[in-house]
Amino acid sequence: MNARVSGHDPLPPEIVRSLRCSVCGDPVGLSDRTVRCGRGHSFDVAKQGYVNLLHARIPAGTADTAPMVAARVDLLSSGVYLPLAEALAKVASDHVENGMVIDAGAGTGYYLAHVLDAVPTAYGLALDVSAVALRRAARAHARAGAAVWNLWEPWPVADSSASLVLNVFAPRNASQFHRVLSADGLLVVATPNPGHLGELGDLVISVDGGKDARLEDTLGDRFTRADRHEVTRRVTLAPAQVRQIVEMGPSAHHLHRDGRRERLDAIDAPVDVTTSFSVTLYRPVP
């Protein structure tokens, strides 16, 4: 049975045991929909099921907005990026038997849900700075919990608590990846390849050829590459899907430039595009 449900309890106990207070770093418990540490620092669980552990404001333009999340939900539900989700699920099923999966920059939890479906004994934690996105992620899977957090800050997660860290088109904090992974854990990074959605021109942010070198520099001496898979195909997007694919990502912040909004809205016929991703596997260096 597919485990994506909307009525499960928020924050499975396995997730709560792995969380740490974002103020003092102590372990936390969950009582009456409040996450609380022994020193009395507390964080309410929202009615949608996520907990906001932040105690600082996020700069404007950092988090996904409600329109961006709505566009992403519509696009992902259409199956355009399903091959990538299936590739990530296959990697997880091949390498992870149980334990916690942390999706760093999880958005709506779409990829995390596929991974948890593929590993029936694992549970998942969705971390993202967008509370709007985590309203979806908190209900994406019965074995998932969600916490609002800025990935550039030290994560409110116990050391060596994750079997798998998933990072899909999201900020990469190598020191935190390494800290939260177990010694035999796995980091899986999904990135767009040069030419991804290239047919859309400046309606999307282009991917340059130096991304691989930057990825290796980011991970530095904390990780070694174990494997890599390419996920590339041609798809035909309906006009509404073209708008969704542009509006769900960082390109949405730049549609006011150079008449892009007008050109996007003027698309009235299907468009053939290339979707191309790399899925790269890394092992932590002791």
The domain spans of the chain are 13-284
For residue 218, the SS3 value is helix
To which residue do tokens 């340059």 refer?
Answer: 208
Within 10 angstroms of residue 208's Cβ, the number of other Cβ atoms is: 8
Regarding pTM above 0.75, the answer is yes
What integer pLDDT is reported at residue 8 of this predicted model? 55
The whole-number pLDDT of residue 60 equals 64
C-alpha to C-alpha distance for 74 and 138, rounded to whole angstroms: 17
Digitized pLDDT (tens) for each residue of the chain, 286 residues in all: 344 444 456 799 999 999 999 999 999 999 989 999 999 999 999 999 999 999 877 766 678 899 999 999 999 999 999 999 999 999 999 999 999 999 999 999 999 999 999 999 999 999 999 999 999 999 999 999 999 999 999 999 999 999 999 999 999 999 999 999 999 999 999 999 999 999 999 999 888 777 778 888 889 899 999 999 999 999 999 999 999 999 998 888 778 888 889 999 999 999 999 999 999 999 999 9
Residue 6: its pLDDT value, please?
45
- Write out the E strands in the chain: 28-31, 34-37, 42-44, 51-52, 99-104, 122-128, 144-148, 162-168, 181-192, 223-237, 271-284
Answer yes or no: is 282 a known binding residue.
no
Is 37 annotated in a binding site? The answer is yes
Ligand-binding site membership of 109 (annotated): yes
Identify the architecture of domain 13-284 in CATH: 3-Layer(aba) Sandwich (3.40)
Nearest to 140 by CA among 168, 104, 105, 114: 114
Element (H, E) at 114: helix 110-118
Give the chain's end-to-end CA distance (angstroms, integer).
38
Dihedral angle sign, alpha carbons of residues 242, 243, 249, 253: positive
Judge whether 8 is annotated as a binding position.
no
- pLDDT attached to residue 119: 97
